[in-house]
Structures are given as C-alpha cells and as structure tokens.
Amino acid sequence: MTKIFIIIMHGSEDPTRAGLAFFKAKGAIEAGHQTEILLAGDGSVIARKSVAESIFLWASHH
C-alpha cells in the first residue's frame, strides 16, 4: 500500500481546484492507498461545513 499526501491550497475562490483534490483522494482510497489531506492557505476555509458543501455542490454540477 502506497501512502499519498495531498495538500489543498485552494478554497471557495477556485472550487474546481479545491474539489479536484478530494476526487483524487477518493480515487486513491478506492485503489487501496493510505491517503491524507492537508488543508493549507486558502484551502483551510474548506474545514467549515458550509464552504465544503458549496464546493462539492458546485463541482458536482460542472
């Protein structure tokens, strides 16, 4: 099993990039890899539930 560490530095200002990191992490987990995500810089706003929901809602429609 490979360990994968993903750093997210984009938040609600760029929902495509922010959401893409989560999709990559999901794929890595499904492939059996140990995956961790770090929210840094503008990406730290994703820790707020309302921001995370808006990003994933936006990403699911594009």
| pTM score, whole prediction | 0.76
In the three-class reduction of DSSP (H, G, I as helix; E, B as strand; rest coil), residue 37 is classed as: strand
Q: Which two tokens stand for residue 30?
A: 């499904």
Answer for the pair 38, 8: CB distance below 8 angstroms, yes or no.
yes
pLDDT in tens, 7-17: 999 988 888 88
Spans of all domains in the chain = 3-60
Query: ∠ CA(29), CA(31), CA(33), 5° rounding?
Result: 55
Q: Which residues are CB-neighbours of 20 under 8 A, at least 6 positions away?
A: 59
Residue 62 has pLDDT above 70, yes or no: no
pLDDT in tens, 25-38: 999 999 999 999 99
